Amino acid sequence: MRLTVLGCYAATPRTLTNPTSQVLEINNQVVLIDCGEGTQVELRRHKIKFSRINHIFISHLHGDHFFGLPGFISTMRLLGREKALHVYGPKGIKEAITLLLKLGDSWTNYPLLFHELTSKEQELIFEDDKISVTTIPLDHRVYTNGYLFREKLGKRKLNVTAAEKYGIDKAYYNNIKNGKNITLDNGTIVSNSELTFDPPEPKSYAFCSDTVYDESLAEKIKNVDVLYHESTFLETETDLAVKTKHATAKQAAMVAKEANVKTLVLGHYSTRYKSIALFKEEASTIFNNVLLADDGKTFDF
Ligand SMILES: [Zn+2]
């Protein structure tokens, strides 16, 4: 599982920082999460092919999380995209984007499919044989969802040495890979677990931005491998965090601890602070495995 952070700062684009956007590669699926201004440029900078992205998940309709989307959709048209593009986001996103396309008489020549969200309950919104995606309802100034991405359990891997030891013909290897036991010529049954290795543990990633500190959040993301939680402010600005419905680094760490996640990644920093190292310092007093997102940073989990 690989996370590439294209942008992770709050509010406005600046010379050296971008608003929220990230690419998650999970079980060979490539998804885009939020699409702030600058997303296209950063995708190019990181040599991530636009055509590999088939699903875009938008958390909420504040500009710093989706103002890059119309441009991205339009560029796909210019690049001659034919495959369908799926956009998940709050109700209203379809109207906003289609109005822009309509005014410019620039309808896409590929299917552009919107999946508008309205539920305040956690819901499964995408599933294939590789991954599932569930919403994480968040508490922000407007209707907002985080997203929980989970890999599906892969197939068991053939243990060739074990199969050879029992003298099993290669013709049965596919059956073994598909979970079957094997009966030897002498009638002995060799169980599948003796002939295969366990598949790798499925990974999970929870994206939670933007949100005020919410105690009930931990329950929805229990035991995930990686939690990205916004930390717009430090503890000194807790009042401001409450007022603007954002979280502090300490609060993000409290959620990580309560949810028993393996790794916490912080981001969505207010640009008022001199160094983002302060966020890690604060969160580390509560939770011991804290990483700092930064524009252009890639994490392999
Ligand atoms: Zn917001």
Q: What tens digit of pLDDT does each residue of 144-177 get?
A: 999 999 999 988 899 999 999 999 999 999 999 9
How far is 107 from 100, CA to CA, in rounded Å?
Answer: 9
How far is 185 from 160, CA to CA, in rounded Å?
Answer: 19
Determine the distance separating the centroid of ligand 1 and the alpha carbon of 281, expressed in angstroms: 24
184-205 residue pLDDT tens = 999 999 999 999 999 889 999 9
Confidence of residue 215 (pLDDT cuts 50, 70, 90): very high
Determine the distance separating the centroid of ligand 1 and the alpha carbon of 140, expressed in angstroms: 7
How far is 132 from 46, CA to CA, in rounded Å?
Answer: 26
Catalytic residue among 64, 128, 185, 198: 64
C-alpha of 193 from chain center = 32
Q: What is the identity of the amino acid at 251?
A: Q
- Residue 300 a catalytic site member: no
Per-residue confidence (pLDDT) for residue 272, from 0 to 100: 94
Confidence of residue 246 (pLDDT cuts 50, 70, 90): very high
Determine the distance separating the centroid of ligand 1 and the alpha carbon of 106, expressed in angstroms: 28
47-105 residue pLDDT tens = 999 999 999 999 999 999 999 999 999 999 999 999 999 999 999 999 999 999 999 99
pTM of full prediction above 0.95: no
Per-residue confidence (pLDDT) for residue 155, from 0 to 100: 85
Determine the distance separating the centroid of ligand 1 and the alpha carbon of 121, expressed in angstroms: 19
Strands of the sheet with 124-127, listed across from one edge:
124-127, 131-138, 144-151, 204-208, 226-230, 263-267, 290-292
Mean pLDDT of the chain: 96
